[in-house]
Structure 1
Amino acid sequence: MTIHGQPAIIRAAALPDIAALTKLYVSYRLFYGEPAASEASEEFLRDRIQRGAGAYFLAFSSSAEKDAEAMAFMHLMPSTNTLAMRPIWLLEDLYVDPSARGQGIAISLLRHAEEFASSTGAERITLSTAHDNAAAQSIYRKLGYVREEHFWYFHRVL
């Protein structure tokens, strides 16, 4: 994969990546108006990676990964389409550092998610975004994602 013609590395996040993942995750939380909660965020991510709860991926800008800083992360959660009797993946989080936006990183991450999901026999990827996140919606439409019109989703905070 390339980002503006440069090699891009996207790989699964592992325990040695906790600091880089936490930095991006905290920025993501702040983007959505949540408190940084850096220590709690690190503990949360460490626990999820140790338990294999979902799949986290990091994007780096160059093939010299050891010298590159992570620019973005993505989090996929497994689920099942019981009617199709096949797995699905929920794209729960996708965040690109503001300094790295406009370089095609989100598109590269989404393509990686599609390849990953396909390799697991998944029927689809489902995602959601804020109503006012026009930039993300534009990318999703460009890649062929279709807005759900059939189901309404309801939530109850516990």
Structure 2
Amino acid sequence: MTITVRRATAEELPEVATLFAGYLDFYQRPAPRETIVAFLRERLDRGEAIVLLARTASGEPAGFVNVYPTFSSLSMAPVWTLNDLFVAPAARRLGVGQALVRACADEARAAGAIGVQLQTAPDNTSAQALYRAEGFEPDTFSAYYLALPR
């Protein structure tokens, strides 16, 4: 199957929002559609995120990655955080995830980033297999998180 991946435009936000809703549902964190669209629009408008959208040969949205460019202080260089990756259920096992990860790495490299970092759930073994197949390796740091009251 032919998959194309490119940066999502503002006009494509409704399609990305549908995929993003599926992503949130996968993690049992549903949100209203208008909240999703507003969140994505704000990230793109502020230049805080890069969203790559995958489409099938027929033009159907098949998946997305949401990336946050940031920096490594130790390396004093840019790195990208691949924060979210989702493939529509009907498009799984067709190479969409691989195409998205490769496009993310290509764009990061072109932007001068020295690496792409990500986290995934310990039980998400299919994602882990994809990342390892694409050259990602577990890092040596432990992740910690402090939840702040809203």
Q: With the length of structure 2 as denominator, give the TM-score of the two structures.
A: 0.94
3-state DSSP class of the match of 1:34? coil
Q: Distance in 1 between matches of 2:92 and 2:77?
A: 34
Alignment match, 1:155: 145
Q: Distance in 2 between matches of 1:142 and 1:136?
A: 10
Alignment match, 1:81: 72
Task: Find runs of 4+ consecutive structure 1 residues off by over 2 angstroms.
Answer: none
Whether 1:39 and 2:34 are equivalent positions in the alignment is: yes
Of 89, 104, 123, the residue aligned with 1:98 is: 89
Whether 1:142 and 2:142 are equivalent positions in the alignment is: no
Whether 1:55 and 2:50 are equivalent positions in the alignment is: yes
Q: Distance in 2 between matches of 1:69 and 1:143?
A: 24
Alignment check: 8 A CA contact 1:27 1:36 kept: no
Q: Distance in 2 between matches of 1:84 and 1:110?
A: 23
| Alpha-carbon shift at residue 54 of structure 1 (Å) | 1.1
What is the aligned-residue identity percentage?
A: 33
State how many pairs are aligned.
148
**Residue identity matched to 1:128:** Q
Q: Distance in 1 between matches of 2:102 and 2:39?
A: 26
Q: Distance in 1 between matches of 2:44 and 2:93?
A: 29
Alignment match, 2:101: 110
Alignment check: 8 A CA contact 1:24 1:95 kept: yes
Alignment check: 8 A CA contact 1:71 1:100 kept: yes
Alignment match, 2:60: 69
Alignment match, 2:5: 10
Alignment match, 2:18: 23
Q: With the length of structure 1 as denominator, give the TM-score of the two structures.
A: 0.90
Q: Distance in 1 between matches of 2:15 and 2:114?
A: 31
**Residue identity matched to 1:139:** L
Per-residue CA deviation, residues 5-42 of structure 1 (Å, 9 max, x unaligned), is x2x21111111001101000001000000123211111
Whether 1:120 and 2:111 are equivalent positions in the alignment is: yes
Q: Distance in 2 between matches of 1:81 and 1:122?
A: 10
